Amino acid sequence: MRTVGTPLELQRRRCLAVQRIAEGYSTEEVADFLGVAPRSVRRWLTAFRRRGTASLVARPRPTPGPPPKLTSTQEKIALRWLSESPTEYGFPTDLWSAPRLSQLIEEEFDVHFHPHYVSTWLRRRGYTPQKPRRVPREKDDEAIAR
């Protein structure tokens, strides 16, 4: 499995391994120093000897999964809607819900999200479901003030 890091960082690590071997360190010492398996160091060294420095270049990996449906700008716009009242967008009450946000995203951006997924999507961005504070319909502010 490939070590975590940017391609540039991985390339630097591989070049350092070859340099340390050239300085006289053993494969095991270099592997221990870099936190990789000795087999990886031997593989890098063999590749370097056969094809030179070009063999140590790490290629960027494609991100797994399909590309995002919303652009980052669209995502910011959708998250900004949550700070505003849903009534401004034609909904009857002041409560945001996943189905409402899903509907608004589809209307504005022509992108379909299942309401269940919208809940997950919001949670990943730091939004959690909130329960509205219950206020009795018969509440008399003047009586409470007295």
**26-29: long-range contacts (C-beta < 8 A, 24 or more apart)?**
none
Q: Tokens for 98, please give them.
A: 């996943």
> What b/e readout covers 51-66, taking b as 16+ CB neighbours within 10 angstroms?
eeeeebebeeeeeeee
pLDDT tens digits for range 49-97? 999 999 999 888 777 888 889 999 999 999 999 999 999 999 998 889 9
User: pTM score > 0.85 for this model?
Assistant: no
Instruction: Give all domains of the chain, ordered by start, each with its CATH number.
Output: 7-56 (1.10.10), 66-146 (no CATH)
